[in-house]
Amino acid sequence: MGYPYLPLTPEERRKMLSDIGVESVDDLFADIPREIKLQKNLHLPQPLAESELIRHVQQLGDRNVSLDTHVSFLGAGVYQHLVPRAVHHLANRAEFLTAYTPYQAEISQGVLQATFEYQTLICNLTGMEVANASMYDGATALAEAALMAMNITGSSRVVALESIHPDYREVVETYLKTVGAELVVLPTDTGRADLKDLKPYVGKDTAAVLVQQPNFFGLLEPVGEIGALLEDVPTLFVVCANPISLGILQPPGAYGADIVVGDGQPLGNPPAFGGPSFGFMAAKEKYIRRMPGRIVGETRDDAGNRGFVLTLQTREQHIRRHRATSNICTNSAHSALIGTIYLAMLGRKGLREVASQCVQKAHYTAELITALPGWELLFEGPYFHEFAVRAPVHWSKVQAALLDEEIIGGLPLAAVYPYRSEWENALLFCVTEARTVSEIQHLVQVLEEVK
């Protein structure tokens, strides 16, 4: 049955308020503007016993559409991949789950070693020289990279392509507003960067050019040409990369990137309705003291034993505020640990196989869809595991038909690019190695029947 709920009597309530020096509960919230307060009572159900509450919450949860009940062709920044069960079995060991921020760092050798291994893997993956202990997520990592570039160059203008994830661009814009910086967004009518639009902004007045690879539409940007354009100028080249794609794509360090960031969710972390995840950041070694967050290093003690130390901590909790490069306060360590175990378990060949299957299955799916009457690719150009198609009917009819068949996706571009009327009936589909041939063929069959 559980314990009954015993509300305070009016006398008890008055005494509690009197003891803390206020006359009413409303006085506790006097700083909140009245116009944003709820002006009516909440209609709350009667208290439930624990067993009843658990059953009620389970019933609410069963209303959800999830990846256990539906097949997903949805991507746009959060992806479903096949993750070996051993990854989460290892990551959920008590010594990892109970470990927290290493304020007395050198005592926490296990945490520091795991972080050091993570940094090493990120450097190997991106082709960069140094990596930090991870960030909140991909969006804030990109924003921090923009601030870092401004700190390095002394310029207050940042250029971003329209093909960067719209949510990421909003986060960057929010960060830059707080420091009075300018964000220039270059349109990408063809879905990819146009160098002639970019050239006028390259030079000492621009701190960085932000590029996503593959971009939000799944297309591969001409990063080699962009890297060559920025090679001998003060403007830094910031690349936001999908880590799975680096299993087969050239690493950003090979085409001249100065800073590489991204979201680590695809590395063993489940979609989980959008999070949590972790962001990664890597850079050229000469910028190491400008990087936000923490950096773990390897050393030897007096006896010659291998050990790990917290080499740099440039956040304001650890050093004088005016010297801090960022106020970012965590590095999503457990999610990054999952990514570390995932990469170590797959290895180079395994990651290459995952990336190759993503490419092959995405192109197979696109070929089947565009063979249907009225369906066509929205953009031309090479793509990784996402592609945008224009539907012959309104996108809402497509989504409704798919949901009826327990299929999620694709994402209507009208929802994230409402000002682009020419993309109104375009849908973004994602196909990873997790999708089977029969699932892909079922998707195409449903699309064929949409009228």
Mean pLDDT for the stretch of residues 48-55: 95
Residues 201 and 249 in one domain: yes
Residues 122 and 259 in one domain: yes
Decide: 135 and 295 in contact? Cβ < 8 Å. Answer: no
139 in any annotated domain:
yes
Cα 418 to Cα 185, 298, 413, 415, distances in angstroms: 16, 49, 8, 6
Q: What is the pLDDT of residues 394-422, one digit of tens each?
A: 999 999 999 999 999 899 999 999 999 99
Q: Which amino acid is at 308?
A: F
d(CA 210, CA 238): 5
378 in any annotated domain:
yes
**CA neighbours closer than 13 Å in the CB half-sphere of residue 86:** 7
Q: Which amino acid is at 397?
A: K
pLDDT confidence of residue 316: 52
Residues 134 and 121 in one domain: yes
Asked whether residue 189 carries a pLDDT value surpassing 70, the answer given is: yes
pLDDT mean across residues, the chain = 92
Decide: 137 and 356 in contact? Cβ < 8 Å. Answer: no
60 in any annotated domain:
no
Residues whose CB falls within 8 Å of the CB of residue 360, separated by 6 or more in sequence, listed in order: none
- The DSSP result for 134-148, as a single string, is -BS-HHHHHHHHHHH
Spatial CA neighbour of 275 closest among 327, 334, 340, 216: 334
d(CA 78, CA 434): 14
Using DSSP, state whether 173 is helix, strand or coil. helix
Q: List the CATH number of the domain containing 427.
A: 3.90.1150.10
**How many folded domains does the chain comprise?**
2
Residues 334 and 371 in one domain: no
- 426's enclosing H/E stretch is strand 426-430
Chosen domain end from 303, 328, 343: 343
In the numeric block, which tokens belong to residue 79?
């992806």
d(CA 146, CA 279): 14
- The DSSP result for 97-127, as a single string, is HS----TTGGG-HHHHHHHHHHHHHHHHHHT
Give the dihedral sign, CA 240/246/250/256. positive
Residues 76 and 91 in one domain: no
Chosen domain end from 343, 364, 387: 343
In the numeric block, which tokens belong to residue 379?
């953009």
Lowest mean pLDDT among 78-87, 245-254, 309-318: 309-318
Residues 268 and 308 in one domain: yes
Q: In the chain, count of helices (H) and strands (E)? A: 13, 15
Residues 292 and 364 in one domain: no
320 in any annotated domain:
yes
d(CA 406, CA 400): 10
d(CA 130, CA 122): 9
In the numeric block, which tokens belong to residue 309?
């130390």
Decide: 198 and 226 in contact? Cβ < 8 Å. Answer: yes
8 in any annotated domain:
no
51 in any annotated domain:
no
Q: List the CATH number of the domain containing 138.
A: 3.40.640.10
Q: What is the pLDDT of residues 223-241, one digit of tens each?
A: 999 999 999 999 999 999 9
Which domain covers residue 190, as residue numbers?
A: 85-343
Residues 430 and 397 in one domain: yes
Backbone angles phi, psi at 400, to 5 degrees: -65, -40
Residues 177 and 314 in one domain: yes
Chosen domain end from 286, 320, 343: 343
Mean pLDDT for the stretch of residues 361-386: 97
What pLDDT band is residue 207 in, cutting at 50, 70 and 90? very high
Q: What is the pLDDT of residues 139-162, one digit of tens each?
A: 999 999 999 999 999 999 999 999
Q: What is the pLDDT of residues 250-287, one digit of tens each?
A: 999 999 999 999 999 999 999 988 888 999 999 999 99
Asked whether residue 354 carries a pLDDT value surpassing 70, the answer given is: yes
7 in any annotated domain:
no
Give me the residues paired with residue 203 across strands: none
Residues 141 and 251 in one domain: yes
Model-level pTM?
Answer: 0.88
- State the DSSP code for 199: G
* Residue 447 vs residue 303, higher pLDDT: 447
Asked whether residue 307 carries a pLDDT value surpassing 60, the answer given is: yes
Around Cβ 106, how many Cβ atoms within 10 Å?
A: 13
What pLDDT band is residue 1 in, cutting at 50, 70 and 90? very low
Residues 309 and 401 in one domain: no
Give the angle subtended at the CA of 390 by the CAs of 385 and 391, to the nearest 5°. Answer: 115
Lowest mean pLDDT among 76-85, 88-97, 220-229: 88-97
d(CA 250, CA 141): 21
330 in any annotated domain:
yes
Using DSSP, state whether 413 is helix, strand or coil. helix
pLDDT confidence of residue 274: 84
Residues 360 and 272 in one domain: no
Q: Percent of the chain scored above 90 by pLDDT?
A: 72
- The DSSP result for 206-242, as a single string, is --EEEEEES-TTSBPP-HHHHHHHTTTSS-EEEEEE-
Decide: 207 and 149 in contact? Cβ < 8 Å. Answer: yes
Residues whose CB falls within 8 Å of the CB of residue 68, separated by 6 or more in sequence, listed in order: none
